[in-house]
Amino acid sequence: MTNLIEYLQARLKAVVTICFVVLAGVAASSLLVDTGHAHTWVEQHVPFFWSFFGFSAAAVIIGVARWLGGSGIQAPVDFYEVSNSTPCEEE
Amino acid sequence: MASSFIHPSLLLILGALLLPFIQGPLRKPYLFLVPLLALGAVVLNTTLTGNFATVLFLDWQLVFGRIDKLTTVFALIMALMAVIGTLYGLHVDRAGEHMAAWIYAAGSLGTIYSGDYLSLFFFWEMMAFSSAFLVWFRRRKQSLSVGYRYLLIHTIGGIVLLAGILLRYQAVGNITFELMDIAHPELYTWLIMIGFGLNAAMVPLHSWLPEAYSEASFNGAVFLCAFTTKTAVYTLARACAGMDILVVLGVIMALYGVIYAVMENDIRKLLAWSIVSQVGYMVAGIGIGTDLAINGAVAHAVVHILYKSLLFMGTGAVLYMTGKTKFTELGGLYRKMPATFFFTIIGCLSISAAPGFAAYVSKSMIIGAGFESHLNWASWLLMFGATGTFMYNGLKLPYFLFFGPNNCSAATWKKAGDPTWNMLIAMTLGATLCVLVGIAPGFLYAMLPYTMNYNPYTAYHLLETLQLLGFATLAFFLLKKYVEPVDRICLDIDWLYRQAGGGFLWLVKGPLQWCDTAWGEAYRVVGLSSLMTLSRFWSWFDWHAIDGVVDGIARSVRGLGGKVRVLQSGHIQMTLYYAFSLAAILFVTFIFFQLL
């Protein structure tokens, strides 16, 4: 398996191209599939709906996580050790 | 029939108690045999239906063996997990760790088989106390405090649950563990739901999970990830199915876990956040409450145990071999740990609901049930969360752990390698089951509580999933630099109760200590001084009044005695002289009074 991965890594450009082709194929196939099983109107009437949904959901999640991390949720690894050790040091 | 019920918890507890006495070459076969016997007992129990092992205790009928379809499916997966988990840690020498794990599994199975709240509570607490040891056995400096925090939170949850049970008994008059009247919820309904919900890591009662599971020992985490939350899911499905609030809480859990997992730098904490998120799907399914939703929640619990334990085994192998768990200290490990990489990838695909893998056959049931129940907002948000799950678990975890920048130190890289044979076999077993359930879900569907005809492999569902995964992958690789792990921790709601704890400490050390000191000083100045003055007065009074009277009498008697003593000269002529003189005085006096 290691060899296979290294073989593919050596041909990264070709692998990426194939992935794009497959992705386009999947998106195109969605136009042909019967949407009778779809639960909502948008699924039935917006072409490539799930492609847009997947991309935008991932982008939004990354954006929100990045924003939250930057707004103070992500703290130094010794955050609690420092706040816990303060009273002891005073002693 | 009643005699054929074998309680698997009894086997596990007895096995755990005997374990320290089994030494040497017999230890490993014994370790494998005991959970296997428990699994065998559960399999035998699947042929039964009804209440077994009933005991009359005071006025209550305790039911240790309530068996129906819901019980059976959960008991089977828990017992199977006990086998896989023990196999994974077979080489661990510490008997105590195996004992804790088995008693923990016994608590879970006991809860699942309980037909009344009293025995349920007993097994519930057994789970809480035994599982804390799986954190402590990591034996790091912080393991002790993390384990205590875990235990403290679960003790609080246990008290809330007990309060609910007692209030329910007062109101209803029985302790039967059954579906509550959710249409007319009382205080006890909420308390019981919160008690169960804490173990299911419902936001905002979830902080114990990421902290404890990421701190547990490498094999302890494999047990932890399976039992507590899924046992709680079982209890919620049994008692609270259809409670609307659970839909809201489930959706919040699903999204909350996703966001934190995306930010996380610790591989096992990422998986712990993922549990919060995935259990959110189950909780939402229970809240929706339709047959399809309950089936979906149960099926998702089963497959979740399979793939999550596989993922914890994969990351546990990394921890076991390298001693590291941070993305910022790992990377590029596929070269050194190819087998671990392979099994972890299967776990990643399974949790991502990729076609052919475990969660593909379960997650869509819950989301579909939401749409069918016209809870479109919930289903859309769960779909949104599912995309996030794929991104952090299907892409971020394998990319930054096995590919991506190699952050390993020379020592870490040298130590990296595939783990022991038993760990690999356990991972093989887990991975095989993940694929089997994914490609042939029929046997899982047959075990679910409600009969249904559900086919996840429709062309529409397949293409929907492929589009979702494919374009989320595209977004991930385009925006990869924004999710690159950084060596920081994520502050969570535990910050609040840590602050509350700090505030309490400040209150004790500050104002309360000041009051105590001031009171002590006031007592010393006012109380002690007046007490001393009073004491001195009483001392004086005692000496001069009480003792004066007593001593005065004594002194008078002594003085008189001294005076009278001279009469006792010992000479007979003197004695006769005093006697006749006294007699003469008495005689003269008598005559004198007669003459008057």
pLDDT of B438 > 80? The answer is yes
Distances (CA, A) of B12 to B75, B88, B106, B509, B542: 13, 17, 6, 46, 73
Residues of B in contact with A23 (CB under 8 A): 470-471, 474
Q: Give the lowest-confidence range in A82-91, B21-30, B157-166, B485-494.
A: A82-91
Q: Which amino acid is at B428?
A: T
Q: How high is the mean pLDDT of chain A?
A: 87
Nearest-CA distance from A11 to chain B in Å?
A: 16
A75 in a domain, yes or no?
yes
- At A83, is the pLDDT very low, low, confident or very high (cuts 50, 70, 90)? low
pLDDT at position B150 is 93
- The dihedrals phi and psi of A11, each to the nearest 5 degrees, come to -120, 50
In this structure, the answer to whether residues A56 and A80 fall within a common structural domain is yes
Candidates B352, B466, B506, B507: best to mutate against A (most CBs of A within 10 A) is B466
Task: For residue B431, give the amino acid letter.
Answer: A
Delimit the domains of chain B by residue range.
Answer: 1-239, 241-492, 498-565
Closest by Cβ to A33, choosing from B338, B460, B476? B460
> pLDDT tens across B337-386, in order?
999 999 999 999 999 999 999 999 999 999 999 999 999 999 999 999 99
Does pLDDT of B328 surpass 70? Answer: yes
Spatial distance between the Cα atoms of B32 and B64, rounded to a whole number of angstroms? 25
Round to whole Å and give the CA distance between B41 and B8: 6
User: Which amino acid would we find at residue B409?
Assistant: S
With beta carbons under 8 A apart, name residues in chain A contacting B387.
Answer: 53-54, 57-58, 61
What pLDDT, in 10s, does the model give residues A63-76? 999 999 999 899 99
Three-class secondary structure assignment of B181-245: CCCCCCHHHHHHHHHHHHHCCCCCCCCHHHHHHHHCCCCHHHHHHHHHHHHHHHHHHHHCCCCHH
- Provide the percentage of residues in chain B whose pLDDT is more than 70: 99
Is A78 within the bounds of a domain?
yes
Other beta carbons less than 10 A from residue B194's beta carbon: 16
Say if residue B2's pLDDT is above 60. Answer: no
pLDDT band (50, 70, 90) for residue B567: low
Largest CA distance in chain A: 73
Rounded CA gap, B512 and B522, in Å?
15
Q: Is position A42 within any domain?
A: no
8-state DSSP, B323:
S
Q: Report CB contact under 8 Å: B468, A54.
A: yes
Is B467 close to A48, i.e. CB distance below 8 A? yes
Give residue B404's pLDDT: 86
**pLDDT band at residue B592 under the 50/70/90 scheme:** confident
CA distance B374 to chain A (A): 10
Q: What global pTM score does this model have?
A: 0.86
- pLDDT-derived band of residue B441, with 50, 70 and 90 as boundaries? very high
CA dist., res. B481 & res. B518, Å (int): 58
User: Do A24 and A54 fall within a single domain?
Assistant: no
pLDDT at residue A87 greater than cutoff 70: no
Which residue in the set A26, A34, A57 is minimally distant from B470, CB to CB? A26
A62 and B476 within 8 Å at the Cβ level: the answer is yes
Distance from CA of A14 to the nearest CA of B (A): 16
> What is the interface size between A and B, counted as CB pairs within 8 Å?
144
Using CB atoms within 10 Å of the CB of residue B374, give its burial: 0 to 12 exposed, 13 to 18 middle, 19+ buried.
Answer: exposed
Written as six digits, the tokens of B291 are 């047959």
Confidence tier at B3 by pLDDT (50, 70, 90): low
Tell me the pLDDT tens digit for each residue of B225-248. 999 999 999 999 999 999 999 999
Residue of B nearest to A31 (CA): B463
For residue A41, tell me if it sits in a domain.
no
Interatomic CA distance for residues B449 and B237, integer angstroms: 10
Q: Is there a cis peptide before residue B210, judged by omega within 30 degrees of 0? A: no
- The model's pLDDT over B157-212, given as tens digits with 9 standing for 90+, comes to 999 999 999 999 999 999 999 999 999 999 999 999 999 999 999 999 999 999 99
Please check whether residue A38 lies inside any domain of the structure.
Answer: no
Give how far B437 is from chain A: nearest CA, Å: 23
- Nearest CB to B475: which of A50, A59, A75? A59
- Domain that residue A10 falls in: 1-33
Considering its fold, how many domains does chain A have in total? 2
Task: Confirm whether A90 is domain-assigned.
Answer: yes
Torsion angles phi and psi, residue B551, rounded to 5: -70, -35
pLDDT for B35 equals 96
- The verdict on A29 and A52 lying in the same domain is no
Chain centroid to Cα B595, Å, comes to 110
Average pLDDT for chain B: 92
